[in-house]
Chains A and B, each alone.
Chain A
Amino acid sequence: MDFTDEQIQRYSRHILLQDVGVEGQEKISQAKVLIIGAGGLGAPVALYLAAAGIGTIGIIDGDVVDLSNLQRQIIHFTEDVDKPKVFSAREKINRLNPDVKVVTYQTLFTAENALDIIKNYDFIVDGTDNFPVKFLINDACVFAGKPFSHGGILRFEGQTFTHVPGTACYRCFFYAPPPANAVPTCSQAGVLGAIAGMLGTIQAAEVLKYFTGVGELLTNRLLTFNAKTMEFRTIKGKKNHKCPVCGDHPTVKELVDYEQATCDIQSRKNHTNS
């Protein structure tokens, strides 16, 4: 593809990078990325990928912007409260970079629509806030042979890894959703807003590395950090032969929507908004 003078200028700091160059920027500009959840993680991912000139960004989220989201979901502004998150996100992406084609899905990501949606994308970003959807994203991506970035944040901590076919998946590390009685209650949870940015920008960097082929992806490694001490560590992992979805004897053979209990009225509708 031929870049215009304006595009060369816009992406000049990428093009100047020896590892990226015009060729790398072309790959970025042809890439199709799906971001699941336009919340705390999805917001920085969407903004940085838009700025980078990713060709097509799909965003799926069934929720509307809530005042309590603005503490960390930096793609949404005060005047967006009550607006569907996907439309709020699309507006900002369009203003940041008109080169980017944005596809919105104002719905929940479910076992029914998962494979149909992800088949249109080259890379999937998990920006969701709950375990049922995280396991669904994992299983759908493993079934479809799609790479994805996992992201999780809690209080002052974050974790992420990248999956490409053949490497460790979410179930290799975490097997199955945690027991129902172990999940923190709403009052125990909470998150320092900037943690979402720290983790989301790592995910965005992984996406750009994936398309440009630069460096080593965060595969077979789980990166965790604690902002209280600012200690980062990567825990080595590997494809688990006991893994229920990608192991030697898989027991998960179709997608399931794990049921989610609600602990308040908001939680059911706020399904994908980390």
Chain B
Amino acid sequence: MGLIKVNDKPQEVNLPKSVSEIILQNKVVQPGMVSVQLNGEFVLREDFDTTFLKEGDEIDFLYFMGGGSKSCLTVR
């Protein structure tokens, strides 16, 4: 077990774990709608499976937020 911080809150997890696994473990409702920062560094979506967390790491999920009720738009 190791201690990491997820969205500024301490969490005990089995390490190493990939960014994808941490997303899954934290039951992120819409994984496609988060951007990830690891220790303040942006992580590319394509690197989620191959980027592993270690003891003391801080991971933040940044959610895409549009506006009000009409943010139901998609892009190509």
Contacts and interface: CB of A to CB of B under 8 A. Distances in A.
State whether these chains interact.
yes
A132 interface: yes
Given A129-B71, A154-B65, A184 B42 contact: no
Contacts of A40: 67-68
A184 B72 contact: yes
B69 interface: yes
Given A173-B35, A179-B32, 11 more contacts: A40-B68, A72-B68, A130-B67, A130-B73, A152-B64, A180-B76, A183-B33, A183-B71, A233-B7, A240-B42, A274-B66
Main secondary structure of the interface of B (DSSP, over half): loop
Interface string A9-49: 00000000000000000000000000001011100000000
Contacts of A263: 72-73
B67 A242 contact: no
Contacts of A78: none
Contacts of A178: 32-33, 64, 75
A152 B75 CA distance: 17
Given A129-B66, A153-B65, A235-B62, A185 B72 contact: yes
Contacts of B40: 236-238
A39 B75 contact: no
Given A173-B42, A180-B75, A182-B32, A154 B70 contact: no
Residue from the set B30, B44, B65, B76 with the largest chain A CB neighbour count within 10 Å: B65
A134 interface: yes
A122 B71 CA distance: 28
Chain B interface residue bracket vs A: 20 to 34
A132 B72 CA distance: 11
A234 B32 CA distance: 22
Contacts of B70: 129-130, 186, 189, 266-267, 270, 273-274
A6 B76 CA distance: 53
A128 interface: yes
Contacts of A233: 7-8
B8 A184 contact: no
B69 A261 contact: no
B50 interface: no
Interface in A115-167: 127-132, 134, 152-154, 157-159
Given A184-B30, A235-B37, A274-B67, A131 B73 contact: yes
B42 A182 contact: no
Interface in B23-74: 30-33, 35, 37, 40-42, 44-45, 60, 62-74
A174 B74 contact: no
A243 B41 CA distance: 11
A184 B73 contact: no
